[in-house]
Amino acid sequence: MDVINPATGERVETYEAETVADVDDALAVASDAFDRWRNCPLREREQLLADAATELRTNDRSYAETITREMGKPISQALEEIEKCAWVCDHYAEHASTYLNPDGHPSPPGAVAKTAYEPLGPQLAVMPWNFPFWQVFRFAAPALTAGNTVLLKHASNVPGCSRAIENVFREAGYPDGTFQTLLITSDLVDEALEDDRVRGVTLTGSGPAGRAVASTAGRQLKRSVLELGGSDPFIVLDDADVEAAAETGASARMLNSGQSCIAAKRFLVHTNVYDEFLERFVDEIKSLTVGDPTDPETDVGPLATDAILEELDAQVTASLEAGARTVTGGEPLESNGAYYPPTVLVDVPDDCPAASEETFGPVAAVFEVDDESEAIRTANETEFGLGASIWTEDRRRGRRLSREIEAGCVFINQLVKSDPRVPFGGIKDSGYGRELSEAGIKEFVNRKTIWVE
């Protein structure tokens, strides 16, 4: 596995891919470790998770630099990602006992009925490169604390991040085998998932990858959680705070150089405020600094790979040929790295890629809508259903319209984000199941009914 620095195009490191035999060995270790780990008192598992948070904060610079070197995230955002990982560890270290406390149920006199929450066994995590620490930790923190063991199959372009995450748990004092990385190619995922020792799988990634994993898990009758793509609408109504919406909208689209499933991708703006919003939004976009991701002043770095840049450029080109118009950006930058400029498209036809596909990069499509009904209808005209953002000064109006949005989460006067305190996940082609909060820790447990008479 070659690590290519996307800012320079240079190979910076090579890792040896592991084999089927290595996977078998890891599964044996994970299975043996589970028998001990499940009996470790929950309070001790919580303390280890708190120690993992300490390790993350103590060595945040080193971990952040690994992220930046492998996938190009601006260093300031990489540091924020490490802190967010520490936060999710803090959250479950504090709240896991409450989340996993047995629930009581009505029962006849002389009987007690409860639901206990018990771990299932080794869990396989198939993770992407765009938030290479956060997307692992938001699963691993609750799964491990519930008493499961975890095997991580990370994206092939971030093997150093994979090894670094393993190091976090090792340095925190986790027993051997509770968390392991598998530096394997995607063709070995099915074989690992079909093994009886793996009791569940979670995947964050593309729709095709999610369907493949779900199919295998379904045949094996194993628990699965999928967090897939998104084409999130960002709705700006006629009574919105336009200045705040434009400022937050630029961040919502360009964070992580636009490489986020929950990024705002389709901006649906009421005709009464369209011109003002577009002017302010474009000004915000143009003010962003594109450049070296190791520079703390950089807002937008390179895309993670040349292939991602080529696909994004093809989507923009096809959209322009279909009749869309660029207000800013629109062509790859001349550079040795995979740089694409922040881009804003308007007059976007309904059936072109910028309207109908997920654009995974710094490209925003802005649409003018006549009223809230058209905004909601357009927002729902997608196979995705991950998140949505609604901007209005009337909070009751926002809450009412949120019920009409087909998505797993709706934020009013805020960008869509994942937060340890609330459930996260999507519907339709954006996947199923939930991560984070109480819902997340209960996805990979046995909800065992216990009746005592």
Answer yes or no: is 424 within a domain: no
| Residue 196: per-residue pLDDT | 97
Catalytic site residue from 261, 358, 435, 443: 261
Over the stretch 289-302, which tens digit does the pLDDT of each residue have? 999 999 999 999 99
Count of CB atoms situated within 10 Å of the CB of 65 = 16
Count of CB atoms situated within 10 Å of the CB of 317 = 14
What is the rounded average pLDDT for all residues in the chain? 98
Structure tokens belonging to residue 408? 């797993």
Residue 402 is part of which domain span? 232-419
Catalytic site residue from 81, 227, 368, 435: 227
Answer yes or no: is 425 within a domain: no
| Residue 272: per-residue pLDDT | 98
Annotation marks residue 261 as catalytic? yes
Nearest to 425 by CA among 440, 411, 414, 412: 440
| Residue 444: per-residue pLDDT | 96
At 277, which CATH number? 3.40.309.10
Q: What is the mean pLDDT of residues 355-363?
A: 97
What are the Cα distances from residue 387, in Å, to 93, 181, 371, 408, 413? 27, 30, 20, 6, 13
Over the stretch 54-108, which tens digit does the pLDDT of each residue have? 999 999 999 999 999 999 999 999 999 999 999 999 999 999 999 999 999 999 9
- Sign of the torsion angle spanned by Cα atoms 265, 271, 272, 275: positive
236 and 224 assigned to the same domain: no
Annotation marks residue 409 as catalytic? no
| Residue 71: per-residue pLDDT | 98
Answer yes or no: is 30 within a domain: yes
Answer yes or no: is 321 within a domain: yes
Over the stretch 146-183, which tens digit does the pLDDT of each residue have? 999 999 999 999 999 999 999 999 999 999 999 999 99
Total domains in the chain come to 2
Helix H or strand E encompassing 201: strand 200-204
357 and 217 assigned to the same domain: no
249 and 218 assigned to the same domain: no
219 and 238 assigned to the same domain: no
Q: Is 432 helix (H, G, I), strand (E, B) or coil?
A: strand
| Residue 187: per-residue pLDDT | 92
Side-chain half-sphere CA neighbours of 202 within 13 A: 29
At 187, which CATH number? 3.40.605.10
Over the stretch 101-134, which tens digit does the pLDDT of each residue have? 999 999 999 999 999 999 999 999 999 999 999 9
pLDDT tier, 304 (very low <50, low <70, confident <90, very high otherwise): very high
pLDDT tier, 278 (very low <50, low <70, confident <90, very high otherwise): very high
pLDDT tier, 315 (very low <50, low <70, confident <90, very high otherwise): very high
Answer yes or no: is 135 within a domain: yes
